[in-house]
Amino acid sequence: MLGFSITALFVAYQLVTSTFAETPRDSPMMIFFTVLCPTSLLAIPIDAEVGTSSFYFLWIVVGILNAALYGTIAALISRRPS
């Protein structure tokens, strides 16, 4: 759930900053989200305009992949011998 939630926050940030033209995207914030959601790098080669159905589909896939990544990391940590 954490991985998908982080992706949802990333999408919300993109929607808010694209809606208000006078609010530019903050580079440190984008780097912060990229570190927390590394699967978002998969969206770079795909040009999906913010707010379109392809944008939402792309970010749902990214969210699922990020949730799977976080789940895999959690499973590996829980299996680690003490």
33-72 residue pLDDT tens: 889 999 988 888 888 887 789 989 999 999 999 999 999 9
21 pLDDT more than 70 = no
Where does 20-52 have alpha helices with state H?
27-36
> Residue 10 to residues 29, 42, 60, 70, 76: CA-CA distances in angstroms?
9, 14, 12, 16, 25
What residue type is assigned to position 63 of the chain?
Answer: G
Task: Write the CA distances from 79 to 5, 69, 82, integer angstroms.
Answer: 24, 16, 9
State mean pLDDT over 23-27: 71
